[in-house]
Structure 1
Amino acid sequence: MRSRILAQSVLAIACCTLVLAVDTVVDVGYSKYRGRVVGDGTTQWLGIRYAAPPLGQLRFAAPKNPLNTTGIQDASKFGSICLPQNPTDWSAKPNPRFQIAEDCLFLNVFAPSNATASSKLPVMFFIQGGGFGSNSNANYNGSDLAREGNMVIVSINYRVGPCGFLQSEEVVKEGSLNNGMKDQIKALEWVRDNVEKFGGNPEHVVLNGDSAGASSIVILLVSPALRNANLFVGAISESASEPTLRTLAQGQDQYNCLLKASGCSNSTASLSCLRSLNATKLQTTNCWFNPHIDGSIIPDTTFSQFEKGDYAKVPTIFGSCTDEGTKNAPQTTDTLSDAHAFFLNQCPSLSNSSLTVLDEMYILNHTAPVFPSSGKLWIQASNAIGDFRSHCVDNFYQSVLARDGMPTWNYRYGVIDPDQEAKGFGAYHTVELYAVWGPNNTDGNPPKSYLTSNAGIVPVVRSYWTSFIRHLDPNVGRMRGTPVWEQWDEERRRMHFVTNETGMERMGGDQLRRCEVLEPMMRALEQDPPKGVKTQLDGSAIL
């Protein structure tokens, strides 16, 4: 009898000390959300509000806290993604993967189903791309990453176009600047306050983003508003570029452009007029909106902030794809005049002599294959924009990081897909996402070889990424048999990802010299020079 009582007491104590896995219903304070167990070892909570709907008077305002709700909210489906700037954007077309709406400030959480509230798993915080004009990497499935990396994945939507980045004196007085960036910060604060309830560690959050998401990461790294916030401990930047960071006066021109396009030009209360319109009336093909200088989140250009050492001192990975430019240069580029028009469209301040330098570096006497339905100079123009919008941008940031003794790693993603090679696109902008997330977890349109001959690159890349997110070092948990990923330093060593041939290489001397020549152009791309000031490239060292 005594032994039975003793056994029951021990069992009771064990039950009391048992740590239970996170329930599908999670209380985040203002709401309770019911997620779903997928059955693959992970649980998903989709479409969680991290901010109030940015509607009515909250249009063009900083994100506010969500309102309290009663009952249990369904978190089994993704929420709407944010309205694209351009009405002809691909994300504006009917798509079974998502819907668009102005009410779009949602995030998604993917976690191992056996995680507990005390697991303190590393967190990957994903910021999608889209040129700050759309949410282009929406609704990716993070379950494979969460399960294989034993970590929590958080992905977010954020406002883009005029809803996210309207800039003018009127906005300063009656609204808020850089709301798309403030959305990202608001979501990071949500992670700090709530991710532990899903099994994550709020003190171990690693940023990961591609394209405009990668550029956002650079902005977050230099933002004084985050310098002491301790919202992240590392960052992976995939194919960052330089968004044009306008001054208030330059932003005013785009504000006036939107007033004209939307029919609010004659209003005596122009911002109120813009707030009164149906959201689709704010969409435009002629006006452009980006993150901008605001004295708070973005006090100066990111190049200048890095040069001064004014950035978050955390471990980083930067990298880009071999053929970054093929989907960003006009495929119709056929003549020297076409190439010049393209260069000037990118950087209107280029002098005639600078165009000559670009011709010598990329166009004249630089032969390249000519592909069906493509101009004779498409590849040459693609090589140029690949350098000045991506490869050389990474070189700039990481040379500063190496100067300051910060651990940083670089990659060149060059996985060859036969179909994309035949079309001339090669290893195009952000194609590495199919390897990081897995070909079945992204946009539903992976290169076919990622399911066959290139399937082996997926676990290789993913193991480096998950290792960095877990250990702030891509090598600790890398796949057995893969090479050590050496840090970027004055030797400019980088990992070259190619199926069955992944290994270290150095940035070539020719590319480095081109980057040195292109630096004035890259600075002009990041912030337009005053009217009448020409951007001069000195090609004497390589011509």
Structure 2
Amino acid sequence: MFYLTGCLVALVAVASAVPTQFVSSPSVSLDGATVIGTTNGTTTRYLGIPYAQPPIGDLRLRLPKPVLPYKGVLNATAFGNQCIQQDFVLGPFPSNVPQAAQQYLQDFIAIPDVPQSEDCLNLNVVTPSGVTRQSKLPVLVWIYGGGYQHGSNAVEPGDAIVARSIQIGHPVIYVAMNYRLSAFGFLGGKEVKEEGVGNLGLQDQREAFRWVQKYISAFGGDPSKVTIWGQSAGAISVSLHMLANGGNNEGLFRAGFLESGAPGPYGDVLELQDTYDQIVTDAGCAPANNTLQCLRTIPASVLKAAMDKSPSFVDYVVRLLLAVTAYTQELTDSLASNDEDEGSAFAFPSLNITTDDEFSGYVSSNFYPKASGDEIAKILELYPANPAAGSPFGTGDKFAYSPQYKRISAFQGDWIEQAPRRLFVQQISGKQPVYAFLNKGGKVEGIGAAHGSELPNVYGGGGMADYLIRFATTLDPNGHGAFHWPQYTNENPQLLTFQDGSIPLKVGLDTYRSAPIAYVAKLSLTYPA
């Protein structure tokens, strides 16, 4: 059992050409029920379908249970409840942070206007209109990001992806599930480990995959052609499902698409005991003989209030409420990616760090507490204080919001995202086809190609969406005259690069910042966080 730092995700509402007027009429039969959806003539939505029993009452903080057979009429015309979110706010921005960057960062913590509830294990299915059980279309299963502390399948229901898949002649079906978050889904500590109820959010995702295998045929999908896909914490989830059970995916999916997320070197779940104990205390359960059982009996609002006092991914503190299980083998075709400036959004909580000594202490205490002084000194050497060397990259002395901001941005981006992704593709290359890309497009003034900046290229119907759709249907992102995306190998680590300007695509090598990224990867493996 391991734990992980959270990852930000931009909850962006992307405009698309899909008509927005949906009317009721389509339906499918599941077990003994009729499920009513809506259609706009191009795509058909079935929203808020329960895929597991509600994790309420004594089912709180337990493994998800399969949904009971459906009966009667199920109205799937509106989004289901989103899971309970952890509340947090961003601190005030320095006056020299551009408005575009401030707005982008505020969007990180935006939450749709959809009710929150523990009864939230539901999913959406979006199909091309008119499909039948005989259509047997490939299926894309989306896992949202949000640091395992917030996120919702109501952010982007997938109509743009399905509409685009129809346009390019590769129709797909889109599924997006909600899963439990923060203290409701990712508690750590010995009590959780002993009872075997860690990673409940990941277990929820897995249960949704099982639902797809059982029911997606009714919507016109082919359960043998499932690609799981996520961004940020969702991409980390994808990687962990790919690695789980020694690479045995139980026939639940055949491929994975990872946007800005890969498995990292995680410490034991027991590292989170202090956070568990604090939540127990704040929830009033400290006197109980069985504190975990006590957490199941208190009102959800009390547990949420205690959860909201715990560290969040926008805090200076790095450790969070996540326990994950990772293994050593991977046998699934995959696409993996990073944005150029992965750390620029993560670094704002650390603007109070202004000197070399403070940066050294920050790295030592928060990332490598067991590393030697010489090992930490090497970090300072590889990530110099010179703003021109920091992130957002290629901006010279601009956007140095503190004397250490761009340095921290570069280091954290590599520690959280770049080094794990590069190590991941290096490890699985040669075992199955792997494609990798770097996004330098969609830059935001002040933070560059920040974490999440590739999302409009996907959900807005850009070229990235076309590659994804072709990969989901044929296991090859290429074709139809598209710019060729070569496979990644360790001998020739070719990297497709998306960028702004007159040359939107090019192929380079995955060798950028090789020395610092390699050192971060090595040190992280030596001293798991």
Q: TM-score, normalised by structure 2?
A: 0.81
The separation in 2 between residues aligned to 1:174 and 1:376, in whole angstroms, is 46
2:450 paired residue number: 428
1:483 paired residue number: 483
| Contact 2:442/2:454 (8 A) holds in 1 | no
Change in Cα spacing, 1:111 to 1:82, as seen in structure 2 (3 Å) is same
SS in 2 for 1:71: strand
Unaligned 5+ segments in structure 2 are: 1-23, 91-105, 166-170, 312-318, 390-395
2:315 paired residue number: none
Match of 2:215 among 178, 191, 194: 194
Aligned ranges 1:420-459 → 2 under 5 Å:
420-421=444-445, 424-438=446-460, 458-459=461-462
2:20 paired residue number: none
Q: Does 1:286 align with 2:310?
A: yes
Greater shift in the superposed pair: 125-134 or 171-180: 171-180
Change in Cα spacing, 1:32 to 1:244, as seen in structure 2 (3 Å) is farther
Match of 1:400 among 404, 416, 427: 427
Q: Does 1:53 align with 2:43?
A: no
SS in 1 for 2:421: helix
**CA-CA distance at 1:467 after TM superposition:** 0.9
| Contact 1:47/1:78 (8 A) holds in 2 | yes
1:15-66 alpha-carbon deviations (Å, 9 max, x no partner): xxxxxxx972222226432110123x11001111001111010001111122
The separation in 2 between residues aligned to 1:166 and 1:231, in whole angstroms, is 26
| Contact 1:121/1:200 (8 A) holds in 2 | yes
Change in Cα spacing, 1:117 to 1:474, as seen in structure 2 (3 Å) is same
SS in 2 for 1:184: helix
Question: CA RMSD of the aligned region, Å?
Answer: 2.7
1:411 paired residue number: 437
2:26 paired residue number: 24
The separation in 2 between residues aligned to 1:162 and 1:251, in whole angstroms, is 12
Change in Cα spacing, 1:277 to 1:30, as seen in structure 2 (3 Å) is farther
| Contact 1:130/1:137 (8 A) holds in 2 | no
The separation in 1 between residues aligned to 2:399 and 2:422, in whole angstroms, is 33
- Ranked by relative contact order (alpha carbons within 8 Å, sequence separation 6 or more), the top structure is 2
1:167 paired residue number: 188
Give the residue type in structure 1 aligned to 2:484.
V
1:330-384 alpha-carbon deviations (Å, 9 max, x no partner): 3625332443344232333333222211111112445354556821321222111
Q: Does 1:66 align with 2:67?
A: yes
Change in Cα spacing, 1:350 to 1:476, as seen in structure 2 (3 Å) is same
1:127-158 alpha-carbon deviations (Å, 9 max, x no partner): 11111122266431311211221100001111
1:329 paired residue number: 347
Aligned ranges 1:194-343 → 2 under 5 Å:
194-224=215-245, 227=248, 229-242=250-263, 245-282=266-303, 283-286=307-310, 289-292=320-323, 298=325, 301-302=326-327, 305=328, 310-311=329-330, 313-330=331-348, 332=351, 333-343=353-363
1:225-279 alpha-carbon deviations (Å, 9 max, x no partner): 8715111011101101446744353344432222122221111231222112222
SS in 2 for 1:72: strand
| Contact 2:186/2:198 (8 A) holds in 1 | yes
Match of 2:372 among 346, 351, 355: 351
| Contact 1:244/1:292 (8 A) holds in 2 | no
The separation in 1 between residues aligned to 2:259 and 2:196, in whole angstroms, is 32
SS in 2 for 1:35: strand
Give the residue type in structure 2 aligned to 1:506.
L
Paired residues, number: 464
Change in Cα spacing, 1:138 to 1:341, as seen in structure 2 (3 Å) is farther
| Contact 2:187/2:323 (8 A) holds in 1 | no
The separation in 2 between residues aligned to 1:116 and 1:354, in whole angstroms, is 60
1:448 paired residue number: none
| Contact 1:389/1:522 (8 A) holds in 2 | no
2:35 paired residue number: 33
The separation in 2 between residues aligned to 1:244 and 1:279, in whole angstroms, is 32
Change in Cα spacing, 1:165 to 1:225, as seen in structure 2 (3 Å) is farther
The separation in 1 between residues aligned to 2:449 and 2:471, in whole angstroms, is 23
Q: Does 1:128 align with 2:159?
A: no
Q: Does 1:154 align with 2:175?
A: yes
Change in Cα spacing, 1:163 to 1:496, as seen in structure 2 (3 Å) is same
**CA-CA distance at 1:392 after TM superposition:** 1.8
| Contact 2:153/2:178 (8 A) holds in 1 | no
**CA-CA distance at 1:93 after TM superposition:** 8.3
The alignment-based identity, stated in percent, is 28
| Contact 1:133/1:289 (8 A) holds in 2 | no
The separation in 1 between residues aligned to 2:265 and 2:282, in whole angstroms, is 21
Unaligned 5+ segments in structure 1 are: 1-21, 439-457, 529-543
Match of 1:515 among 509, 514, 517: 517
SS in 2 for 1:353: helix
Give the residue type in structure 1 aligned to 2:453.
V
SS in 1 for 2:161: helix
Rg larger for: 1
Q: TM-score, normalised by structure 1?
A: 0.79
1:417-464 alpha-carbon deviations (Å, 9 max, x no partner): 4xx22xx211110211111111xxxxxxxxxxxxxxxxxxx4322111
1:506 paired residue number: 509
